[in-house]
Amino acid sequence: MSKPQSETRVATPVSAATFRDKAFKSRVLILPDGRPVPVEDFTVTTGDPAVIEFLEKHADFTRQASAPQPE
């Protein structure tokens, strides 16, 4: 008699997003939960959904187009 196989749930990966800071070349933003988000060379790249949501609402940031993935 075989054992029933348990389901394995895999988290859906969040693709990285890149944002351009229109105001500062470098700075550190603080998320509402207290985590720092460093800006380096006008850029923030992250896969963290909370950071993406925060930057999408921030007037100083624009989301950059993703580079096409090689096949």
Q: Tell me the average pLDDT across 19-24.
A: 98
Residue 57 CA to residue 28 CA, distance in Å, equals 16
- Asked whether the predicted pLDDT for residue 11 surpasses 70, the reply is no
Residue 30, classed as helix, strand or coil, is: strand
Say what the pTM is. Answer: 0.72
Q: In the prediction, which pLDDT does 12 show?
A: 53
- Tell me the chain's radius of gyration from C-alpha atoms: 18
Contact criterion met (CB below 8 Å) for 63 and 53: no
Q: In the prediction, which pLDDT does 6 show?
A: 54
